[in-house]
A = this chain, B = another copy of it.
Amino acid sequence: MSLIDVRCDLQYEVLAPTSFLFNVAALRTPGQAIESETVVLDPNVTYTESAIGDEGNRIFRLTADPGPFRLRYNARARLAEPAGLDGRMDELAHAELPDDVLSYLTPSRYCESDRLGQLAEDEFGAVEPGYQRVAAICDWIGERMEYTPGSTDSRTTACDVLLQRTGVCRDYAHLAITLCRALCIPARYVSAYALNLEPADFHGYFEAYLGANWYPFDPTGMAPLTGLVQIGVGRDAADTSFATIIGSATLESLTVEAIAAEVAAP
């Protein structure tokens, strides 16, 4: 069990009346309880909270007028012990997969799994199915990629990354998701606050569906799996932007932080 304090501070200059969707609040899930949280807006406009997507990503919707706009979010999250690695973590046959994970086999904007079937089969077809196969995918990516901020942008897909061999956390996750789906392993993207991330920022990793659970994997190896506070879950990063901006606004400053408030004894 872990207790983690997270916060973010986003400061914008709004240039025209702008509609925002913020996806920065920590999710409430069976494994992640939010013990306390505060949202401070300046100016103090009204916002609503919506639950979007399969996992109920918590979206703050609001409209801001021209001028400075600032959102500060703080929360304390209590994370359950992650599912033990001694449990059932095999790959289910396609016919056994529950209905609600099937859409995580589908190719998506940044995860063109339909293009990498042969490659995935060649590289991982002979690896023993289950947790160890997804771990092998992560290792394979970690060995081939060089973590290079600025080398990719919001249009970069898993196929691009596979060719150029550089990227950031979201690119690593997209490539891993794509290879999993190509092997018929449901996989989904998660945005998160992450302990120990250097430099501090929002993080991106993925979950694979094994046995009867979604298991977290981070092919960058940059954050401990026990220190991830989930924000958004989706098919890929297109579903989990921390801010969607319709109008005109520039991000002037972004601060993200995750601190262990109390960490379970090993």
Complex CA distance for A114 and B247, rounded to whole angstroms = 15
* Per-residue contact bits, chain A 98-112, to B (CB 8 Å; 1 contact, 0 not): 010011001111011
With A144-B122, A239-B103 already in contact, the answer to whether A94 and B164 are too (CB < 8 A) is no
> A206-238: which have CB < 8 Å to B?
238
Select the stretch in A35-43, A131-139, A154-162 that faces chain B: A154-162
User: Are the C-beta atoms of B103 and A53 separated by less than 8 Å?
Assistant: yes
Complex CA distance for A52 and B101, rounded to whole angstroms = 9
Q: What secondary structure prevails in chain A residues at the interface with B?
A: mixed
User: Are the C-beta atoms of A118 and B246 separated by less than 8 Å?
Assistant: no
Complex CA distance for A106 and B146, rounded to whole angstroms = 25
Complex CA distance for A102 and B165, rounded to whole angstroms = 26
Of A50, A99, A116, the most chain B CB neighbours within 10 A belong to A99
Decide if A196 is an interface residue (CB 8 Å cutoff): no
Complex CA distance for A127 and B108, rounded to whole angstroms = 30
> A22-47: which have CB < 8 Å to B?
none
User: Are the C-beta atoms of A106 and B238 separated by less than 8 Å?
Assistant: yes
Decide if A119 is an interface residue (CB 8 Å cutoff): yes
Q: A109-B109, A184-B246 are in contact. List 11 more A-B contacts (CB 8 A).
A: A19-B93, A19-B94, A19-B95, A59-B99, A94-B246, A94-B247, A95-B246, A109-B112, A109-B114, A118-B166, A119-B165
